[in-house]
Amino acid sequence: MLELKDTGLEEFSFGDASDDKFYILVNKKISPDGIDVKKLSKANPMKFDATLNEMGCILMLNGIEVAELCMRGELDNENLHESMFELAKEEGLF
């Protein structure tokens, strides 16, 4: 089973809106250097999720989803990495 130290949290922004910002919990055992944005940008759109999975993506949320989950108390904005890790674990994603 993965431990928190085996994961990383990456943030990508493709614009200024909340739904343009993405938070990705990454399995560092699969991708020690994190998500390869260059490779991801060349991915077939129909296989985008599969490409993310191959790169070690455990969970990906946009800014709106993160804000909503923080308001519900399911994520902690001050400790987003650990709270996303715990959420992924609770949801059985690893």
pLDDT tens figures, 55-87 = 999 999 999 999 999 999 999 999 999 999 999
For residue 40, the model assigns a pLDDT of 87
| Opening angle at CA 18, ends 8 and 41, nearest 5 | 60
Q: Evaluate if residue 1 carries a pLDDT over 90.
A: no
Side chain identity, residue 64: I
For residues 76 and 23, what is the distance between their CA atoms, to the nearest angstrom? 13
